[in-house]
Amino acid sequence: MALLELRNVSKIYHLGGEEIRALDGVSLDIDGGEFISIIGPSGSGKSTLMHILGCLDSPSKGEVRLDGMDISKASTAQLARVRNRTIGFVFQFFNLLPKLNVTQNVELPMIYAGIGGRERRERAHKALELVELSHRTKSRPNQLSGGQQQRVAIARALVNDPKIILADEPTGNLDTHTGELILALFRHLAAQGRTVILVTHNPEIAAVTPRRIEIRNGKVAERVDERLAGLDRPNAVAVH
Amino acid sequence: MNLVNAILVGLKEIWAHKFRSALTMLGIILGVSSLVAMSAMVQGMEKGLKEALVAIGGLQKIRVEAQPIPTDQRHLRDFATGVTLHDVRALLASAPEVDVVSPQMRLEPAPTLSANGKNYRTFMTAGVWPIEAELMEHTIAHGRLFSEVDNEQGRNVCVIGTTIRDELWGKPEETGEEVIPVGKSLNVNGVPFTIVGMFEHYESEQDHKERLLRIEEAARERALGPNGKSTRRNRGWGGGGRRGNFAFWVKNNTLYMPLNSMWMKLKSGQTNAPSEPRLSEMEIRIKDVDHMDLALTQIRNTLMVNHRGIEDFSFRTQEDWADQIQSSVRNARLSGGLIAGISLFVGGIGIMNIMLASISERIREIGIRKAVGAGGLDIFVQIIVESVTIAIVGGILGLGFSRAVVWLIGEVTPTDNAPIITVGAMLFAFGFSVVVGLVAGLFPAFKAARLNVIQSLRYD
């Protein structure tokens, strides 16, 4: 059984009486430990797919199973719990809380998991060591560079030891070199056996993952973009 | 997320917006302090009124006063006896609910009292039995009360209130020494009486404090000597001080002498005096306030028989007054409480307003918190805690501030009754402010908890 199973998933919005199918009957399996990218131009529905994969949203139709649990009918409280324990998010704009320092930002998911103060600090420290930021624990996000902020965000995504890391354009706001380092970090995490899902519009980033899913007009495209063909080499790092 | 964390987050949030939070708290501070101050004023007023009620003998007292014969019984006036000692004896013998009866014969119009080369018309001069002093809650401070023997023999003795002493021999706080006129002679309408005792000075607690202050002041002025400048101008007639509560004033203006002395020395000599001594009134103490109606019926029936059915008397109970006190206190409490409550309510609206502004500033933050696993309940608790924390801090500051408000009101409009800040009022005001904070936080917290994750994450 796959870690994530989507069966005929549709997301339908109603805008002024008009029906918009952001996702139209998507079926897809993602196994545990896979390093996978979801690619598609803006408006293709890849963001909607990411929201559903990340339990931020529920599908209008179809079935989503995460680790055997049907989350298409879960309550918002259950979804919050899944987001807290099973999924770690990394966003394009980092989404750190500006009023909290680095450690406090990393501790945030553990607070909602109800983990005690001492264990929180220990685990936050470990996660920050992993992203090589243990020397900036007291800094505020606005005192850090973009790459450092994104590493804090990755540390935050990792602290609750989630099965899935879901990264939405994680290099979109970073320069080429920093972006490479961040991608290397994801590859490292994938090598450790974590499921890493990269959502991007950039085929060159998608090229770093062994498996790619292209979304076009709310559907999984039959054929992957030709531009990706030649880039499908192991260990190839090509950004922009 | 546990509660301690939520409170810490709330406090941090308040601290991050110090000025804004302080302004919001000001509404609660003013609300709480005005609630406490209002209650303190009313409490002071109630205490003053109750003191006066106790001073005149409490609820167990019934006064039977002689009245003109009603119009429809005028043709029977030759048979009317008036209130007499027969009534007293009849009541003691045949009305089981009656505990004590004290006859009173008043000299009216008020006689001229003269002694020490001065004259004074006091408010009340009455011949009574010694029991009257107990019934009217009089306390002898100096000398003694006249006795049954004094009464039997109709001796020329009397007991006076302090105002009579003040008027004839001078106030202690003005002369600097307290004259105790026990043993001195006093003329009542020209008839000499010996003063055998003097009552204590009756006053409310507030007046007592002020009088002590005046004594101190006067002593300081005298210490300056005749050349020293007095800080107080002489106001001519020795007024100056306030007259205080009427009940206390009456008691201080009382001269009591034995009933028989009054009758034999002052009344019977008057022209057209009736052969039977007529009383102006009787003070009755009943055994149980709860049997007031029964007692009144017994007294009325007894008197009706004695008076041959002529209703030339009337009752007065203290219950009317007690009711009046209750209702005026209730009114003051209600109107004061309402106004203070409204101001606290307005403070609550301030909190709600600021919480709404605060969450629309923090939509993105809420989105991030939800994305990393905060449930709606976590966000709800966080907002409620912030709102309640503002209310609690404001409430505590308001309790401190209420002392200042009470002082300020006292300075601007001094009253006879010093306001009393009670612990109960403080607890109530504080509790109310917490409830206001809670209620004010509900809507913003609900709104924040319901925010859509995806939309909040995209919000700028």
Q: B241 pLDDT exceeds 50? A: no
Instruction: Compute the nearest-CA separation of B7 from chain A (Å).
Output: 13
Q: Are B381 and B449 in contact (CB under 8 A)?
A: no
Would you mind telling me the total number of residues written for chain B in this entry?
460
CA distance B273 to B195: 27
The pair of three-digit structure tokens given for residue A167, joined into one six-digit string: 């990264």
Cross-chain Cβ contact B373/A89 below 8 Å: no
Beta pairing, strands B157-160 & A4-15: unpaired
Q: Map out the domains of chain A as residue ranges.
A: 31-56+85-229
Chain B residues near any Cβ of chain A (below 8 Å): 1-2, 5, 12, 16, 364-365, 367-378, 453-454, 457
Which of B79-93, B147-161, B225-239, B297-311 bottoms out in mean pLDDT, i.e. has the lowest?
A: B225-239
* Partner-chain contact A108 B369, CB within 8 Å: yes
For B362, the closest chain A residue by CA position comes to: A97
Parallel, antiparallel, or unpaired: how do β-strands A4-15 and A164-168 relate? unpaired
CA neighbor of A32 nearest in space, from A213, A167, A194, A206: A194
Residues of A whose CB is below 8 A from B364? 95
Residue contact B375–A108, C-beta within 8 A: no
Q: Which residue of B372, B386, B455 to mutate against A (max A Cβ within 10 Å)?
A: B372
User: In angstroms, what separates the C-alpha of B350 from chain A's closest C-alpha?
Assistant: 24
Q: At B105, list the tokens.
A: 């014969």
What the block records as the tokens of A223 is 């054929």
ipTM of the prediction = 0.88
- Asked if B69 and B313 touch (Cβ cutoff 8 Å), the reply is no
Residue of chain B nearest A80, judged by CA positions: B373
**Cβ neighbours for B448, distance < 8 A, ≥ 6 positions apart:** B359, B362, B366, B379, B380, B382, B383
Residue of A nearest to B382 (CA): A112
Residue A208 has pLDDT above 80, yes or no: yes
pLDDT at A232 over 60: no
* Backbone dihedral angles phi then psi of residue A93, each to the nearest 5 degrees: -100, 25
Q: Is the pLDDT of residue B227 over 60?
A: no
Residue A235, pLDDT score: 45
CATH class for the region spanning A31-56+85-229 = alpha beta
| Interface contact A112-B373, CB threshold 8 A | yes
Mean pLDDT of B401-429: 82
Looking at residue A35, the DSSP 8-state letter turns out to be E
Q: Do B452 and B361 form a contact (C-beta atoms < 8 A)?
A: no
**B159 has a pLDDT exceeding 50:** yes
Q: B34 with B339: CB under 8 angstroms?
A: yes
**Residue B119 in 3-state DSSP?**
strand
Verify whether the Cβ–Cβ distance A56 to B371 is below 8 Å. yes
pLDDT band (50, 70, 90) for residue B274: low
Predicted local confidence at residue B124, as pLDDT: 87
B100: left (phi over 0), alpha (psi -120 to 50) or beta: beta
Query: Which of A79, A87, A95, A105 should be substituted to probe chain B, the one whose Cβ sees the most B Cβ atoms within 10 Å?
Result: A95
Which of B5, B364, B370 is opposite residue A111, by nearest beta carbon? Answer: B5
Summary mean pLDDT of chain A: 85
B16 vs A88, which has greater pLDDT?
A88
The strand ranges marked E within B291-369 are 313-317
pLDDT for position B443 = 93
Choose among B1, B370, B453: nearest Cβ to A111: B1
**Cβ B372–A57 below 8 Å, yes or no?**
no
- Residue B188, pLDDT above cutoff 60: yes
Least confident window among A221-225, B87-91, B94-98: A221-225
pLDDT band at B57 (very low <50, low <70, confident <90, very high): low
User: How many angstroms separate the CA atoms of B152 and B197, rounded?
Assistant: 18
User: What is the mean pLDDT of the segment spanning A117-133?
Assistant: 88
In the numeric block, the tokens 């003795």 are attached to B157
Q: Which of B2, B368, B372 sits opposite A114 (nearest CB)?
A: B2
How far apart are the C-alpha atoms of B354 and B23, rounded to whole Å? 10
R_g of chain B computed on alpha carbons: 33
Within 10 A of A156 (CB to CB), how many other CB atoms are there?
Answer: 29
Specify the higher pLDDT residue, A31 or B60: A31
Beta bridge partners of A188: none
pLDDT over 60 at A233, yes or no: no
